[in-house]
């Protein structure tokens, strides 16, 4: 688990030493254990390593035998041992025990087709001097991020936005498309960012760079099916249990302490059960507020399986005090209030473990959200289904109001195809797996965990498990009687405490209204200063200030909407300058 970055000059030599220093300083948290680079006059590739697997032999870059192919890589490949056995049978030998070397050898044999063979989370750069081609690759579920900047002179890529915005001389012109996306979704789906020249690589795709020209290709897409006749339910449950055990067991690899985020919901409780089945004695963690928490449920699961359990209690006051640190750590604004307690929990996690397993993906794979139930059980006319789903998913239908120059019709409708290309439940699952999963849940997890030099792993996003469940009947996920995640509950009911199976979905409740009151003076200052900033070029500063007044005087807008607006503006006024200040400190030291 690492950070990667690099620069590729188009025509002229580049100051590669300056790039490498800025990359290393701004992203050291992603790789505190080791670093390595490959460079020449026109290009440089950097790896910052958090050592998890093959600690002694996994130094990067790693090269092919003839040194014509190299890689810098961020991630974990859970099926690397199987791939390695196949390559050994083909006559290849290995100098390390790392999964990184397996990627290089697999690419040598299969070319870009190797990317779809990888079961894991990854973002990597492969340079192939034989073909004069560079590949930038992001995993199928977007667990690992990769940002790419391009202007007339160079490409720059980085695991984090802050690795790019700190580079001198880059064009940080604002992009209305990114703002409109954020105001609609509360996060920014790929490929856009707030900046016209910086893009995030889409999940499941790779970018090639050759002779200064880039092209993007999709190597994987979700394949949903709704088979008929229905497969035998008992057979399905047995196969599901086998794939779950394999997914969890494969993610226990490594040479460092591993823990589990255990909320007491069915997803994290299922992971805890399979950890117990695998014979691993891991420590579990949960966080909550004194007034609202799920401790009784996580305790019940940890006690049943004999797992050491640690509870962390936080308060709105504590989270408000840490707001600036959390916003800077996030790298990009994400208006999910759960970012704050996750950051606080990571401070405790780091004292005990380096890797944590978590239950993200369970709702999106098995159909667990309440909006799925609403959409499937309500008689909603076809022509308004997409907007109803958007509204039920906490997206803001009035996003265009805040834009000086909105796209008409909204360019966010580009995602409608995911919703409409499948039968209704599968369409919602496909939509969330293309948007919410990679660009909210995974970005939140990656940025916050890596800020603490922690690695997150997500068994529900195992490739084999996902492909299997995606091919099952819709009615096995959301039961016709309305039970969400029906198949998972049916399969796990003999093994989990009954209170876990029967409980209503809770989610992590963060007191946003209390946070807005605690941060009121800061919020007012931020919005009063907007007309004097570059944000006024793309945003209606007057309307934004009016919304602040409306909230504090009359509470006429939703707390989550004001939170979304505040997080965006605060990030631009405080976090972005902090990233650029890191560059200035480096320059002053030279």
Q: What are residue 200's DSSP bridge partners?
A: 147
3-state helix, strand, coil in the chain (%, to 5): 50, 15, 35
Please state, as a whole number, how many other Cβ atoms lie within 10 Å of the Cβ of residue 540. 16
Q: Can you tell me which residue has the tokens 């792993």? A: 457
Coil/strand/helix, residue 241: helix
Task: List the structure tokens of 136.
Answer: 């930038």
Please give the helix or strand (H or E) that residue 394 lies within, else none: none
Q: Can you tell me which residue has the tokens 């290849």? A: 92
d(CA 342, CA 263): 12
Beta strands in 241-303 (DSSP E): 258-261, 283-288
Give me the sheet containing 213-218, strands edge to edge: 62-63, 69-77, 120-128, 133-138, 205-210, 213-218
Angle in degrees, CA 378, 508, 294, rounded to 5: 110
Coil/strand/helix, residue 535: helix
Coil/strand/helix, residue 428: helix
d(CA 158, CA 572): 19
Distances (CA, A) of 153 to 146, 211, 321: 20, 12, 42
Which candidate, 102, 112, 98, places its Cα nearest to that of 2? 98
- Residues with a catalytic annotation lie at 2
d(CA 309, CA 275): 14
d(CA 571, CA 574): 5
How many alpha carbons lie under 13 Å from residue 460 in its C-beta half-sphere? 23
Q: Phi-psi region for residue 345, left (φ > 0), alpha (ψ -120 to 50) or beta? A: alpha
Task: List the structure tokens of 507.
Answer: 């989610």
Give CA torsion, residues 117, 120, 121, 123, to 10 deg: -30
d(CA 288, CA 311): 8
The reply to whether omega before 207 is within 30° of 0 (cis) is no
Across the chain, how many H-helices and E-strands are there? 27, 17
CB 97 within 8 A of CB 53: yes
Task: List the structure tokens of 61.
Answer: 């870059």
How many alpha carbons lie under 13 Å from residue 208 in its C-beta half-sphere? 13
- Kindly give the pairing relationship between strand 283-288 and strand 308-313: parallel
């Amino acid at each position: 688990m690492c950070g990667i970055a690099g620069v590729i000059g188009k025509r002229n030599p580049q100051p590669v030493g300056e790039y490498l220093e800025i990359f290393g300083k701004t992203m050291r948290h992603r790789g505190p254990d080791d670093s390595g680079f490959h460079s020449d006059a026109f290009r440089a590739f950097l790896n910052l390593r958090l050592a998890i697997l093959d600690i002694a032999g996994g130094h990067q870059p790693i090269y092919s035998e003839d040194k014509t192919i190299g890689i810098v890589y961020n991630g974990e490949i859970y099926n690397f041992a199987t791939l390695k056995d196949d390559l050994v049978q083909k006559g290849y030998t290995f100098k390390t025990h790392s999964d990184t070397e397996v990627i290089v050898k697999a690419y040598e044999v299969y070319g870009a087709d190797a990317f779809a063979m990888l079961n894991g989370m990854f973002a990597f750069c492969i340079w192939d001097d034989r073909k004069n081609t560079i590949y930038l690759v992001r995993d199928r579920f977007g667990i690992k991020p990769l940002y790419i900047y391009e202007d007339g002179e160079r490409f720059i890529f980085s695991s984090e936005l802050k690795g790019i915005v700190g580079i001198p001389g880059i064009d940080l012109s604002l992009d209305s498309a990114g703002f409109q996306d954020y105001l609609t979704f509360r996060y920014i789906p790929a490929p856009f960012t707030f900046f016209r020249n910086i893009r995030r690589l889409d999940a499941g795709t790779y970018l090639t760079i050759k002779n200064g020209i880039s092209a993007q290709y999709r190597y994987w897409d979700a394949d949903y099916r709704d088979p008929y006749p229905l497969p035998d339910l008992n057979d399905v449950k047995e196969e599901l249990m086998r794939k779950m055990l394999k997914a969890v067991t494969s993610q226990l690899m490594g040479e460092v302490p591993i823990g589990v985020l255990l909320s007491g919901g069915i997803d994290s409780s299922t992971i805890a059960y399979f950890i117990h089945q695998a014979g691993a004695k891991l420590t579990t963690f949960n966080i909550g507020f004194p007034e609202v928490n799920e401790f009784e449920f996580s305790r019940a699961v940890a006690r049943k399986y004999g797992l050491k359990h640690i509870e962390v209690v936080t308060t709105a006051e504590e989270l408000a005090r840490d707001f600036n640190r959390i916003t800077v750590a996030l790298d990009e604004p994400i208006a999910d209030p759960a970012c704050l307690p996750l950051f606080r929990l990571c401070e405790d996690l780091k004292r005990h473990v380096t890797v944590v397993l978590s239950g993200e993906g369970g709702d999106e794979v098995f159909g667990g959200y309440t909006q799925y139930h609403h959409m499937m059980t309500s008689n909603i006319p076809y022509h308004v289904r997409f907007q109803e789903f958007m509204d039920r998913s906490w997206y803001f239908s009035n996003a265009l109001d805040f834009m000086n120059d909105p796209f008409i019709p909204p360019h966010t409708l580009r995602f409608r195809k995911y919703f409409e290309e499948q039968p209704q439940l599968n369409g919602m699952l496909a939509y969330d797996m293309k948007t919410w999963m990679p660009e909210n849940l995974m970005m939140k997890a990656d940025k916050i965990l890596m800020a603490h030099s922690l690695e997150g792993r997500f068994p529900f996003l195992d490739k084999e498990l996902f492909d299997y469940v995606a091919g099952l009947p819709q009615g096995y996920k959301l039961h016709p009687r309305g039970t969400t995640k029906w198949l998972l509950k049916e399969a796990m009911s003999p093994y989990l405490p009954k209170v876990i199976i029967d409980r209503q979905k809770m989610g992590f409740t963060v007191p946003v209204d209390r946070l807005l009151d605690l941060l009121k003076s800061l919020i007012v200052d931020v919005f009063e200063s907007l007309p004097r900033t570059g944000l006024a070029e793309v945003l209606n500063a007057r309307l934004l200030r009016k919304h602040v007044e409306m909230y504090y005087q009359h509470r006429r807008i939703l707390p989550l909407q004001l939170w979304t607006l505040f997080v965006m503006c605060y990030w631009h006024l405080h976090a972005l300058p902090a990233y650029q200040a890191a560059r200035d400190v480096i320059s002053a030291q030279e």
